[in-house]
Each structure stands twice: as structure tokens, then as C-alpha cells.
Amino acid sequence: MPENLLLPSGRAICYSGYRHGQSPAERIYPSLEQIREDLRILQPHWRLLRLYDCSPHAERVLEVIRRDGLDFQIMLGAYLGAEMNNFGCPWGCTYDEAQLAANLAENDAEISRLINLASHYADLVFAVAVGNECTVDWTDHLVSLPRMIEFVRRVKSQLRQPVTFCENYVPWQFKLRDLAAGLDFISIHTYPVWEYKQVHEALDYTRANFDSVLRACPGKPVIISEAGWATHSNGRGIQPHNTSQELQAIYLRDLLDWTDQAGILTFVFEAFDEPWKGSPDPLEPEKHWGLYTVERQTKLFMRHTPY
């Protein structure tokens, strides 16, 4: 681990506060009071939050934390749109040249927002993530490796905080080694339930994912920026019988027991269920990863675990 890299410790969770009728795609964001309610729910149990983008939602979260003097530290992300078509995306998202050009310009603007927010809230933002899942084979927002390296260099030249990139564990094993060389630490996503694993084999699978990245990028610190278990599914990508609050609780207890003992910073995915995600089907698995429902009710893990 580099001598100048010191990441905070404590319980960490991914936070996105969109409720019924709200969506980042529609630019309908949670209000300051709704965010304040969320943060008061999270504060007794979680010290570190991961934010995905530099939208007005993220700005409001940072504003509330500072204004209310809340004890949170933030890993702030930039969300990058597709700069090229990925014809291997399973759900077939393609874009015309005009949209790709607009996305390219918007990505440059998002990186500027990342730099500005991390600078303005330097007391709260302990690290920044230059993108999220935009290099993996199945992504619908594909960005080239040279552009990713360009973004990392730009951010590192203007910020003092450590810089990372959040991605599925697989690309780190081969595709992202040149990118990894320029990062202060690597952030991986691991989801055994998406890969048809049962809960009794899930932790071993997560550990194997983590170890594979350590081997591929020796000497580079690695954290887990997403790991979780869905509580409902309509069968799209996850078997319905392999989702429940009970299974979520088992996996997360196993995960946090291991990462606590190993000293691995781990962001649980995620705080609240988000109804805007995925298809209109209410049992779409993308909507059901929260430790709290969209109505802000605790699920089993939070009711029976002293976290």
C-alpha cells in the first residue's frame, strides 16, 4: 500500500435516495428534507457513503451533511455515459452519432463537476471514483480505456484525494491493468447472486473474485465498492427462489465478518430500494437490493444485526 494512502474505516454503504416518482433519468431528485430523513436513518449504523454521480442529488447530500454537521465521509463518483456503442450489451442499447457526441461532452462536464465538488467539500470527500461499470463487457455506457486513463490523469492533476474507478471484478484481471497503474486504489464489484451462486457458496465466490484482482494487480490496494444480495426477483437474471431478506442477511453477515477480519473497506449495496431501476415490473431485481424498503422500513438484516 502506498505510504500516502490512508482510507477511512467503518461501516460503508452505497446511497442513492430516489423514491417513488423520482429518477435520475427524469432529473427528478430527492428533496433536501428527504435526504435529511435518509441520512438520519443511516447515521446510527453507517459512517461511509458512496455516491454514484455529481448530480443535484449528490450536491444536496453533501450540503445536508455539512449544514447539519453529520458524521459521514463520502466516496464521490462520476457517472459516465456511453461514448461508443457496445453491441455485446445483452439488452441491446445503441446510440446514434449525435447522442454519442453529446455523451462525450457531458462526460467532460461530469468530470469537471467531480473536481469542483470534491474541492468544495474536501473535508467530506475522502476519495473520488472516475466512473462506474463503463468498461465491462456487458455495459450499456461503454467508455474506451484511453479515455478512462485521460480522465484519471485529469482528476489526479487537480485533486488531492485518492482516485479510483469502480468496476466489476472481471475486467481488472486483464483489460484494466494499464488503468490500474494510474489509480491510487482499485474498487471492485462482486455479486454472486447474479452469477447463479447459492448463499452457502457466495462468500467463497466473493473471496475468489477479490483474490483474482489482487493477483492481477500486485501491490495495488483493493476495496469492494459494491456487494449485496437482492430480496426479490422476477427471474430476469436471478432465480426468484434465490432472493429473500433471509438470504440477504446471511450473505451480508458472512461478507462483513470476513471483510472486518481482513481489514477490507467494503461498501454494501445498497441503502434503499429504488423503484426507478430496471423494467416496470415491480419484482424487477434491480429494484430490490436495499437494506431498507423504498418506504424506509428496515429489512431483516438491519433488524437482527448489530451494525
Task: Measure the CA–CA gap between 146 and 130, rounded to whole angstroms.
Answer: 13
Q: How crowded is residue 65: how many other Cβ atoms within 10 Å of its Cβ? A: 22
- Digit-coded pLDDT (tens) for 133-190: 999 999 999 999 999 999 999 999 999 999 999 999 999 999 999 999 999 999 999 9
- Digit-coded pLDDT (tens) for 86-139: 998 998 889 999 999 999 999 999 999 999 999 999 999 999 999 999 999 999
Task: Measure the CA–CA gap between 223 and 237, rounded to whole angstroms.
Answer: 25
Number of domains in the chain: 1
Ramachandran sector of residue 263 (left: φ over 0; alpha: ψ -120 to 50; beta: rest): left
Task: Measure the CA–CA gap between 219 and 138, rounded to whole angstroms.
Answer: 28
Q: What percentage of residues in the chain have a pLDDT greater than 90?
A: 95
Q: What is the CATH number of the domain that holds 274?
A: 3.20.20.80
Residue 17: CB partners within 8 Å, gap ≥ 6?
Answer: 30, 34, 35, 38, 57, 61, 271, 272
What band does 241 get if pLDDT is binned at 50, 70 and 90? very high
Instruction: Tell me whether residue 255 is in a domain.
Output: yes
Instruction: Tell me whether residue 127 is in a domain.
Output: yes
Instruction: Tell me whether residue 7 is in a domain.
Output: no
Phi and psi angles of residue 263, each rounded to the nearest 5 degrees, phi first: 70, 40
Look at the alpha carbons of 22, 293, 209, 243 in this order and tell me if their dihedral is positive or negative: negative
- Contact by Cβ (8 Å): 111, 157: no
Instruction: Tell me whether residue 294 is in a domain.
Output: yes
Instruction: Tell me whether residue 102 is in a domain.
Output: yes
Amino acid at 191: Y
* pTM (2 d.p.): 0.96
Instruction: Tell me whether residue 170 is in a domain.
Output: yes
pLDDT number for residue 92? 82
pLDDT number for residue 306? 64
Report the candidate in 233, 200, 294, 176 with the shortest Cα–Cα distance to residue 189.
176
Domain residues for the domain of 116 are 12-304
What band does 307 get if pLDDT is binned at 50, 70 and 90? low
pLDDT number for residue 152? 98
Instruction: Tell me whether residue 2 is in a domain.
Output: no
Radius of gyration of the chain (CA): 18
Residue tagged 461498501 (cell numbers): 267
Start-to-end C-alpha separation, the chain: 28
Task: Measure the CA–CA gap between 76 and 71, rounded to whole angstroms.
Answer: 16
Instruction: Tell me whether residue 60 is in a domain.
Output: yes
